[in-house]
Structure 1
Amino acid sequence: MTIGNYLREFHDLPVFEFPAPGGKAAAAELPDPAAVAWRLSAATYAEPGDEHWEDLFPRFVDAVDTAKVRAVVVGGWDEAFENSSAAIVEALVAAKDRLPALEAVFLGDMLSEDCEISWIMQSDVTPLLAAYPGLRTLAVRGASGLEFPPVRHEGLRRLVVQTGGLPADVVRSIGACDFPALEHLELWLGRDDYGNDTTPADLEPILSGTRLPALRYLGLRNSDAQDEVVAAVASAPVVARLETLDLSMGELTDQGAEALLAGQPLTHLKRLDLSHHFLSDETAERVTAALAPHGVAVDVSDRQVPHEYNGERYRYTAVGE
């Protein structure tokens, strides 16, 4: 499975594609700058005459009253599989005085035909946090070259990192950040053959919750080692303050679910998401029966069946390459 659609909504705003230069689309009336999330995207396989992102962004700044812009979605950029997002981060940082109301940034809204998620070349994205103290949401797709040196940000409420394979050093760095207002942390851990080498020990600073006093949603998703992740979560101190625990999209088996059932009580949760899993029907029913009577919305949809090849059984995450 891959990501099937570009973002249609971001930061509770509909996504609006900033039109290409020339033609009917460019002449169309632009929406209220504060009423949409502005998608700024260029071709990832640019041909002669195509506008590059570095030219698109100044045109956007000149055409829109950016003092009112609340959300920006960065789509593709030329050869995103070779060229990192560093120049885009730099451009956004340099424009901080032109974007005083900016609250949300999504970096890398691309589909597989633009650039496979594990090929997207990212960079150090934390200058965005330093430049925008009013930022509330930061989302990144792709982990190649991604850096996240430990920072403190007083206002960030949502951090999302979507990958086919998230390196342990990035996980540890995020765990070392101080985000006192963070309510939503979502990490797609991915597969070892695409860079995921995260262990439960690497997750411990997150699972302790020490630097995340406001956390209400924790998503540790899309992991090929989901049983190990779930076993660590089962006794994690941070779980007691959560409303939503999202362990979806991974290779969860009965072993992981049994560890979850044997761990700390989860009856305080509003939602437990285990969708895209490899649970037996019996175990899925046991999880639901243990929690649903307490008002927990349990999602055990999208049951998967291992592939068999040469006598071996293979499981898969929802998003890989």
Structure 2
Amino acid sequence: MIFDIQPVNSEDYLQTYAGLPVASTPLDEEEPPPDAGAVAWRLSANEGDEFEEISESFDWFFDNVDTEKVKAIVIGEWEDCYDTDSAPIVARLAEHADRLPELRSLFLGAMTWEQSEISWIQQCDVTPLLRAYPKLERLEVRGGSGLAFPPVRHDALRVLRCETGGLPGEVVRGVGRSDLPALEHLELWFGVEDYGGDAAVNDCADILSGDRLPALRYLGLQNCPFADELAAAVAAAPVVARLEALSLSMGSIGDEGAEALLSGQPLTHLRRLDLHHHYLSEAMAERLRAALPGVDVRLDDRRSREEDWRYVTVSE
């Protein structure tokens, strides 16, 4: 199922991505090369690696791989990713779209915290990828610094995920104002203001209406420092009625937010309600479970309600 995607912010996709084994460039010359369409290709570069610049990894890829068969690409670390944004990578992928006619899945920024803290990764406007690849089904981005997503229409995209420690409100509004008729899985990690997370509940209005997201089945509004307020908006949101899974996980939700969910529209149609990393009392947790007996309610990683402040899972 689409909503069974449950990555963590340290996932580097060295083993598998999009259901395919990963092949990292350059290949070992002593090993037989895989079928180009049977693996996800991982391109990366850093000082001390085989390639010190990501452009070298792209050069090798286009010179040595039958790119017309490639279905999935993972972009890992690039040189000085905390100073240099992803715009040259996006531009090169867009420029060579005709050489990648079967590309369906793309992850931009698959780095571990050892390579770069998530909020240090410099991103850019990623919508040229959607315009260049009208058949792309899955787009995932890690890092919110410099990230832009002006409204766009894309008829094939099924999964859109933005992992950030600080998500700009303009990105949230841009996603909500995009026409994405095939989108089934939408996941946004909000993060905190210290790292550019200036989104507010009102920025989510178009997403919560669901008007431009008729196929949506998984909605993840995650890693949110204003999760109680967001839960109150979600409780009355039209889009919820068609969902199979709802996630307000990784954030600051407490009893007030849970009460809003219980007092709002019915959630008994959900297959999963994910609130892991939460600040609910045990009594409220039991109320939720009792009210939703047929729903997989995920309440692990309970945080102490005695802490001076509530924190999200991913920030810096």
TM-score for the superposition, normalised by structure 2: 0.93
Contact 1:234–1:263 under 8 Å retained in 2: yes
CA distance in 2, matches of 1:72, 1:78: 18
CA distance in 2, matches of 1:26, 1:175: 46
1:31 aligns to 2:38 (yes or no) = no
1:232 aligns to 2:238 (yes or no) = no
* Residue pairs, 1:1-321, within 5 angstroms: 3-7=9-13, 8-19=15-26, 25-43=28-46, 46=47, 50-292=51-293, 295-305=294-304, 308=307, 313-321=308-316
Q: Which amino acid aligns with 2:146?
A: G
Q: Which amino acid aligns with 1:68?
A: K
Q: Which amino acid aligns with 2:33?
A: L
Task: Work out the number of aligned pairs and report it.
Answer: 308
SS at match of 1:97: helix
1:113 offset after TM fit, Å?
1.4
Q: Which amino acid aligns with 1:183?
A: E
Q: Which amino acid aligns with 2:258?
A: A
RMSD in angstroms over aligned alpha carbons?
Answer: 1.6
CA distance in 1, matches of 2:268, 2:37: 39
The verdict on how the C-alpha distance between 1:48 and 1:152 changes in structure 2, with shifts beyond 3 A counting, is: closer
CA distance in 2, matches of 1:49, 1:19: 8
Q: Which amino acid aligns with 2:104?
A: E
TM-score for the superposition, normalised by structure 1: 0.92
CA distance in 2, matches of 1:71, 1:142: 20
The verdict on how the C-alpha distance between 1:34 and 1:289 changes in structure 2, with shifts beyond 3 A counting, is: same
Contact 2:90–2:126 under 8 Å retained in 1: yes
CA distance in 1, matches of 2:22, 2:51: 22
Contact 2:226–2:252 under 8 Å retained in 1: yes
The verdict on how the C-alpha distance between 1:268 and 1:54 changes in structure 2, with shifts beyond 3 A counting, is: same
Q: Which amino acid aligns with 2:32?
A: E
SS at match of 1:102: coil
1:47 offset after TM fit, Å?
5.3
Q: Which amino acid aligns with 2:299?
A: V
CA distance in 1, matches of 2:77, 2:90: 13
Contact 2:52–2:79 under 8 Å retained in 1: no
1:176 offset after TM fit, Å?
0.8
1:247-270 deviation line (CA, Å, top 9, x unaligned): 111111111111111110001111
Identity within the alignment, %: 56
The verdict on how the C-alpha distance between 1:255 and 1:26 changes in structure 2, with shifts beyond 3 A counting, is: farther
1:196 offset after TM fit, Å?
1.5
Contact 1:307–1:315 under 8 Å retained in 2: no
CA distance in 2, matches of 1:137, 1:48: 28
Contact 1:73–1:107 under 8 Å retained in 2: yes
The verdict on how the C-alpha distance between 1:50 and 1:132 changes in structure 2, with shifts beyond 3 A counting, is: closer
The verdict on how the C-alpha distance between 1:50 and 1:61 changes in structure 2, with shifts beyond 3 A counting, is: closer
Contact 2:191–2:315 under 8 Å retained in 1: yes
The verdict on how the C-alpha distance between 1:33 and 1:50 changes in structure 2, with shifts beyond 3 A counting, is: closer
SS at match of 1:272: strand
1:12 offset after TM fit, Å?
2.1
1:133-182 deviation line (CA, Å, top 9, x unaligned): 11000111111111111110111111000000101111111111000111
1:307 offset after TM fit, Å?
7.0
Structure 1 residue runs without a partner (length 5+): none
Structure 2 residue runs without a partner (length 5+): 1-7
